[in-house]
Amino acid sequence: MASEKGKVAIIGSGLIGKSWSVLFCRAGYEVYLYDIDEKQVSNALSGILESLQELEGKGLLKNSKITSAQEAHKLVHGCSDIAEAIEGAIYIQENTPENVDIKKKVFVNLDNLVKNDDTILASSTSCIVPSRFTETLKHRKQCIVAHPVNPPHYVPLVEIVPAPWTESSVVERTRAIMKDIGQAPVTLNKEVNGFLLNRIQYAIIMEGWRLVEDGVCSPEDVDTVMSKGLGLRYSFMGPFETMHMNAGGILDYCEKYGSNIEKICEEQGESRQLHDSNTAQVVHDAMCNASVPVEKLEERRTWRDKRLAALAVHQAGQED
Amino acid sequence: MASEKGKVAIIGSGLIGKSWSVLFCRAGYEVYLYDIDEKQVSNALSGILESLQELEGKGLLKNSKITSAQEAHKLVHGCSDIAEAIEGAIYIQENTPENVDIKKKVFVNLDNLVKNDDTILASSTSCIVPSRFTETLKHRKQCIVAHPVNPPHYVPLVEIVPAPWTESSVVERTRAIMKDIGQAPVTLNKEVNGFLLNRIQYAIIMEGWRLVEDGVCSPEDVDTVMSKGLGLRYSFMGPFETMHMNAGGILDYCEKYGSNIEKICEEQGESRQLHDSNTAQVVHDAMCNASVPVEKLEERRTWRDKRLAALAVHQAGQED
């Protein structure tokens, strides 16, 4: 063992825990994958090897020192003793269910076991701000959220969310580790509900919802606007760079189109009800028809992941 | 001449007029490209040939009957007599500047010249609803907006916007023609400011703006959330299909996450000032640094179009 990159501990061997293990071992880190359930850990280890082999087959084992799936996989150790898993780890990534009481319990446990004052204690939570489960901990300055997107080996974004008491060096080191394993970190300067990705996603969903509810267009057409229009450029450039290029820079864009955009956004102020709404039924029926019925969702997810994988391979050959 | 697909007239030989000509001749339509300025028309004809050759080189001359750029180009005729251009056309696509008085003048002229009651009179406008420039016309039932996205041969979305008096058969025939030339039409059932694409784009811009203005994150990170996260799947699936798959269908998604989304969207009700704002300067400076300074925008647009072209080639090989 003793990888020069150091040791990381992954707490929880479900889908997200497995994905983190793949990313870390691919980059040459020694990985201890912990779960209470030994059987689940051993299943996870096979799943990790399969993912690594898939990446190898696609030419996406990026690290120069790790040249094969087998070699990367040797760096991953299953473990059902949490103290052993985190012993000497430079970075711990927690992946338990999205429940604040569970997070609190797990973090109290980690807080009691961790020995170093510079070990990073990161949570994968997608929606719970870190101040809600780290406030009373001895090591709270070392706690942070690092929220990945699924599947992380094809969608590199990681949202880094410090609590008010998280040390800035912990933020910087977490960002550096994320970049080192091939991910694209973004940092929140303060806690907000939904973090960044979901806030932007929800703004899109809500405008689509209003358009359908107000009878402007069909649910399918909302999707087409994205997948055959806006979304093509969004796969390699963001909304601000798009503005920058659609005029002579941002200032020129705001000068030319700003007041019109403000006026339209004023029409978008109203939040609509999603749950138990007639529109939910309309959108549901449209998606069952245009995409797949509920019983075929698993097949469609496989298709989605195949498309994301193919896009990652395509993008690996493009210049930024 | 006498292509079996019929004749179309393109009014205006700038960037958009040229793009429409490429799309129509590639699909086997006889194209009459009109402009007052004969020199500009002859320049446009060379530009159209170049675009066709580029598509040919990428294997994107999709039509089975048109097998070469040369063959498609032979279907395009430059023309400086508007009456000749529209004589016998089944479809006319107007591409003059985004000014309602100009649109009015051009449409009055077309209205006086057009002889058939089934010729479609379409405008490329991105922001002027058709009722504003077609109300008083004799042929107003035949008028419609067909708004393309730039560059249309790599971004297939077309927004179809009927006026209240547009005949439904005109909407249907416009959609059919758009599909026939390889585009992806969406239809507005009523006129709204910004149509669909810009309404969704502005909802995204405004949430990004609030996040930066409120000190939550940097402008670069807003872009990264899209280009390394959300935008990857949006290049082949829309926001509603994403919801459908991120739970057991739309109804299940709304049941599980609906109230939380509604709560977050209530925080997003406030429209911010874009023009003459301090945030505009912050975003501008960030983009000049992260993307390119204003004087290099043209190079960066070339890069963007290259990426869109490469993405189109990639997607042509993928299954839906």
Please list every residue in chain B whose beta carbon sits closer than 8 Å to the beta carbon of residue A197.
225, 229-230
Q: Which of B234, B284, B290 sits opposite A234 (nearest CB)?
A: B234
Closest B-chain CA to A219? B240
* B211–chain A nearest CA distance, Å: 8
Question: How many cross-chain Cβ pairs, A to B, lie less than 8 Å apart?
Answer: 386
* Residue B152 to residues B21, B76, B128, Cα–Cα distance (Å): 11, 17, 19
Across-strand partners of A187?
A160
CA-CA-CA-CA torsion sign (B311, B249, A195, B197): positive
**CB contact at 8 A, B18 and B34:** no
The reply to whether residue A200 touches residue B231, judged by beta carbons under 8 angstroms, is: no
Q: Which residues of A touch B58 (CB under 8 A)?
A: none
Count of other CB atoms within 10 angstroms of residue A279: 18
Are B48 and B26 in contact by the 8 Å Cβ rule? The answer is no
Q: In the predicted model, is pLDDT for residue B1 greater than 70? A: no
Q: A308: which 2 tokens?
A: 């994301």
Q: If contacts are CB pairs under 8 Å, which of residues 137-196 in chain A contact chain B?
A: 149, 154-157, 159, 184, 186-190, 192-194, 196
- Token readout for A62 is 């990026």
A244 touches B at CB < 8 Å: yes
DSSP assignment of chain A equals ---TT-EEEEE--SHHHHHHHHHHHHTT-EEEEE-S-HHHHHHHHHHHHHHHHHHHHTT----SS--SHHHHHTTEEEES-HHHHHTT-SEEEE---S-HHHHHHHHHHHHHH---TT-EEEE--SS--THHHHTT-TTGGGEEEEEE-SSTTT--EEEEEE-TTS-HHHHHHHHHHHHHTT-EEEE-SS--TTTTHHHHHHHHHHHHHHHHHTTSS-HHHHHHHIIIIIHHHHTTS-HHHHHHHTTTSHHHHHHHHHHHHHHHHHTT------TT-HHHHHHHHHHHHHS--GGGHHHHHHHHHHHHHHHHHHHHTS--
* Residue type for position A108: V
When scoring A181, A241, A299 by the number of chain B Cβ atoms within 10 A, the one with the most, hence best to mutate, is A241
Alpha-carbon span B217 to B215, nearest angstrom: 6
What average pLDDT does range B64-83 have in this prediction?
Answer: 93
CA distance B92 to B59: 28
**CA–CA gap between residue A245 and residue B205 (Å, rounded):** 14
Helix (H) or strand (E) holding B20: helix B15-26
Q: Please answer whether residues A37 and A130 qualify as being in contact, where contact means their C-beta atoms are separated by less than 8 angstroms.
A: no
What's the gap between Cα A44 and its chain centre?
19
Rounded Cα distance, A253 and A3, in Å: 50
Domain borders along chain B are 7-187, 196-236+273-317
CB-closest option in B189, B249, B314 to A297: B249
Instruction: Give the pLDDT confidence score for residue A319 in this predicted structure.
Output: 81
For residue A75, the tally of other CB atoms under 10 A from its CB is 22
| Confidence (pLDDT) at A4 | 87
ipTM of model: 0.97
Closest-CA distance of chain B to residue A28, Å: 23
Residues of B in contact with A269 (CB under 8 A): 269-271
Average pLDDT over residues B28-46: 96
CATH architecture for the domain at A196-236+273-317 = Orthogonal Bundle (1.10)
Check CB contact under 8 Å for B288 and A204: no
| Contact call for residues A55 and A27 (beta carbons, < 8 A) | no
Query: Which chain B residues contact residue A265 at CB under 8 A?
Result: 202-203, 206, 271-272
Residue of A217, A266, A312 lying closest to B188 (CB–CB):
A217
Measured between beta carbons, the chain A residues lying within 8 angstroms of B188 are: 216-217
Angstrom distance (rounded) from CA B278 to CA A98: 38
Interface membership of A36 toward B (CB under 8 Å):
no
Position B2 confidence tier, pLDDT thresholds 50, 70, 90: low
DSSP B246: T
Q: Can you count the helices (H) and strands (E) in chain B?
A: 14, 8
Reported as a pLDDT band with limits 50, 70 and 90, residue B230 is very high
pLDDT score at B3: 78
3-state secondary structure of B270: coil
Verify whether the Cβ–Cβ distance B217 to A188 is below 8 Å: yes
Is the Cβ of A251 closer than 8 Å to some Cβ of chain B? yes
What 8-state DSSP symbol labels residue B296? G
**Chain A from 278 to 317: CB within 8 A of any B CB:** 280-281, 283-284, 286-288, 290-291, 294, 297, 300-301, 303-304, 307-308, 310-312, 314
What are the residues whose beta carbons fall under 8 Å from the beta carbon of B42, sequence distance 6 or more? B78
**Distance (Å) from the alpha carbon of A127 to chain B's nearest alpha carbon:** 10
Sheet hosting strand A120-123, strand order edge to edge: A76-79, A30-34, A7-11, A91-94, A120-123, A143-148, A157-162, A184-187
Q: What is the predicted pLDDT for the residue at A65?
A: 79
**Quick one: average pLDDT of B51-62?**
92
Structure tokens at A295: 């019983």
What confidence score (pLDDT) does residue B171 get?
A: 98
Rounded alpha-carbon distances, angstroms, from residue B244 to A141, A203, A240: 38, 17, 28
Could you tell me if B52 and B25 are in contact, meaning their C-beta atoms sit under 8 angstroms apart? Answer: yes
Using a CB-CB cut-off of 8 Å, the residues of chain B touching A288 are 249
Q: Within chain A, which residues score under 50 in pLDDT?
A: 1
Distances, alpha carbon B261 to alpha carbons A201, B243, B264, in Å: 10, 12, 5
Rounded average pLDDT over B313-319: 92
CA A181/CA A29 separation, integer angstroms: 9
Does a cis peptide bond (omega within 30 degrees of 0) precede residue B151?
Answer: yes
Give A-chain residues touching B146 at CB under 8 angstroms: none
CB contact under 8 A, B207 and A201: no
B249 CB neighbours in chain A (<8 A) are 284, 287-288, 294, 297
The CATH number of domain B7-187 is 3.30.300.30: no
Each residue of A100-145: pLDDT tens digit? Answer: 999 999 999 999 999 999 999 999 999 999 999 999 999 999 999 9
SS3 B161: strand
Instruction: Report the alpha-carbon distance of residue A284 to residue B23 in Å, rounded.
Output: 34
Upper half-sphere CA count for residue A289 (Cβ side, 13 Å): 10
- Residue spans of beta strands (DSSP E) within B35-152: 76-79, 91-94, 120-123, 143-148
Please count the CA atoms within 13 angstroms of the CA of B279 that sit on its side-chain side: 22
DSSP string, A220-278: HHHHHHIIIIIHHHHTTS-HHHHHHHTTTSHHHHHHHHHHHHHHHHHTT------TT-H
Rg (CA), chain B: 22
What mean pLDDT comes out for the span B291-312? 97
